Amino acid sequence: MKIGFIGLGNMGAPMARNLAKAGHEVTGYDMAEVQVPGVGLAHTSAAAAEGADVVITMLPNGEILRAVAAQILPVMTSGAVHLDCSTVDVDSARAVAELAHSHGVQAMDAPVSGGTGGADAGTLTFMAGGAVEAFAKVAPLFEIMGQKAVHCGGSGNGQAAKICNNMILGVTMIATCEAFALADKLGLDRQAMFDVVSTSSGYSWSMNAYCPAPGVGPHSPADNGYQPGFAAALMLKDLRLSQLAAASAGAETPMGAAAEELYTAFVEEEGQGAKDFSAMLPRFAERNG
């Protein structure tokens, strides 16, 4: 396919590189000066999109996505697919899809899970929202960039799946960190805590696969000084998106709101946004003395 790729940052660059390596003709654009092996560079986002079968965007937020969409959709070929892999608010995803349809372009929102490591290795998971026909057209690209793609329904549902998943992740990580900090105060050894909870009703991905206690369970960022696999600032972004969606839909999410409040304090007041989101454990442990 002829592919335009807009947003060649830490995630976009390796995704574009993998597509080019697989034999696709990829033309990229980024506001920063970048070089990506196998990827030609355009001077504008519209130039990268013109004549492409699929245009992929990987952008920081919904406002920028809307602005870029307004530039690229008018020049895209009728029947082409705009595949947005950014993590943005549901309302922006659906507004961009409506704009795409008005230009005769198919739209698919497909945020990813797997981080920069998954982007580099081509093992991302895609949560896709949009028409079945659009999903079928881009499915071969998902196979190159990732290991799994789930069609979640209509436009915006990919974003909905991503933020619901990450709201659960944020809430369960806080609960896991609180429990370890409480165990410390009660004199319960962390390894014993892990051995019990990881095989009992309290088990979760946060405990079993990404344990926030150093030296306990499988290797995780806690064992590397909380250098991020998933930065706290990114968790805060996703929690804020979940609360925007909850407000828009009129949904009650008190645990999600509490998690957003805690990560806001952690990132903005305490300056810990560059640490892994599991660094909530030393925060609670220090506050507990």
Is 275 known to be catalytic? Answer: no
**Rounded distance, CA 167 to CA 162, Å?**
9
**CA quadruple 217, 222, 228, 231: dihedral, nearest 10:** 90
Going by their DSSP bridges, the two strands 40-41 and 54-57 should be labelled as unpaired
Active-site hit among 2, 137, 148, 162: 162
C-beta of residue 130 within 8 angstroms of C-beta of residue 109:
yes
C-beta of residue 27 within 8 angstroms of C-beta of residue 52:
yes
Q: How many CB atoms lie within 10 A of CB 139?
A: 13
C-beta of residue 265 within 8 angstroms of C-beta of residue 254:
no
C-beta of residue 287 within 8 angstroms of C-beta of residue 256:
no
**Rounded distance, CA 238 to CA 66, Å?**
18
Sign of torsion, CA 16 13 263 189?
positive
Q: Please identify every residue annotated as catalytic.
A: 162
